[in-house]
Amino acid sequence: MSNTLKVPTMAEMAAKGEMPDILFWIGCSGSFDDRAKKITKAIVKILNKCEISFAVLGSEESCTGDPAKRAGNEFLFQMQAMQNIQVLDGYGIKKIVTGCPHCFNTIKNEYPELGGNYDIVHHSQLIQGLIDDGKLVVEGGETYKGRKITYHDPCYLGRGNGIYEAPRELLKKLDAELVEMRHCRQNALCCGAGGAQMFKEAERGNKEINTLRTEEAMEVKANVIATACPFCKTMMADGVKNKNQDGKMEVIDIAELIASAADL
């Protein structure tokens, strides 16, 4: 398959008088963080492969305001949110997909009270739907045969919005052994990045929470920690490094796992 990724912007499509079926909201992490860019590329590969009509906002996309709100700056959050709502409504956007649970939660649950109403799905839900509809074929996951994968539930996806099964259903397509950590689903541990903690040093304590979470993955002898959030991916990768598990354990987003298993 060609390595050229097709990523049209809304401005380009609007100039041609076209409207995509779905807007891909990338988010700050997926745009600027080198590790998270791999998630963005994997989602684009899947959208291209399934010939889904989509577009991105490009330079017109701004932070959803999630970190500002969690840090207590409601005024900044509302400024950022209103700017985004103005752009989205200006293009007549109705449906959105994102790989970031923080963006997902904010747009889904907090934008409506400011007048922004959109049908937004997480990338795990979209990919599961594509597989269910036969549009995406995961050619067994021989790539991961014989490996143990554990899934780390992102807070805003799991407890925040009750999405537990879609990511696990995707992992079951990989022909690997899915093992659950001691704390999972409703009782999952946070990676330590939520509540704007991603952008500051941790408070004093006897252990970093991402190190504790990595130890839980080590308990079940996982070869891969599957994530569904760019913040989680960063925190868990740092936890793996802290525990000297580099080379023994990988941290990979479910979009990347599916894209590689589908040979994209």
CATH code of the domain containing 222: 3.40.50
Shared domain check, 14 and 116: yes
What pLDDT is stored for residue 199 in this prediction? Answer: 63
Question: Would you say residue 230 lies in a domain?
Answer: yes
Shared domain check, 120 and 83: yes
Residues 249 and 218: beta-carbon distance below 8 Å: yes
Residues 90 and 120: beta-carbon distance below 8 Å: no
Question: Would you say residue 89 lies in a domain?
Answer: yes
142 by DSSP, 3-state: which? helix
Shared domain check, 253 and 144: yes
What pLDDT is stored for residue 1 in this prediction? Answer: 42
Question: Would you say residue 146 lies in a domain?
Answer: yes
Question: Would you say residue 4 lies in a domain?
Answer: no
What pLDDT is stored for residue 263 in this prediction? Answer: 76
Shared domain check, 175 and 82: no
What pLDDT is stored for residue 63 in this prediction? Answer: 95
pTM given for the model: 0.90
Exposed / middle / buried, residue 37 (Cβ in 10 Å: 0-12, 13-18, 19+): middle
Shared domain check, 143 and 253: yes
Count of the separate structural domains present in the chain: 2
Q: Domain limits at 213?
A: 139-261
Q: How far is CA 109 from CA 114, 118, 125, in A?
A: 10, 10, 17
Q: In what order do the strands lie in the sheet with 119-122?
A: 54-55, 22-25, 95-98, 119-122
Question: Would you say residue 134 lies in a domain?
Answer: no
Question: Would you say residue 155 lies in a domain?
Answer: yes
Residue 29: CATH number of its domain: 3.40.50.1860
Per-residue pLDDT tens, the chain, 264 aa: give them.
446 888 999 999 999 999 999 999 999 988 998 889 999 999 999 999 999 999 999 999 999 999 899 889 999 999 999 999 999 999 999 999 999 999 999 999 999 999 999 999 999 999 999 988 889 888 655 677 778 889 999 999 988 899 998 889 888 888 788 888 898 888 887 887 766 666 667 677 777 888 888 888 888 888 899 999 999 998 899 888 888 888 888 999 999 999 988 777
End residue of a domain, out of 128, 159, 194: 128
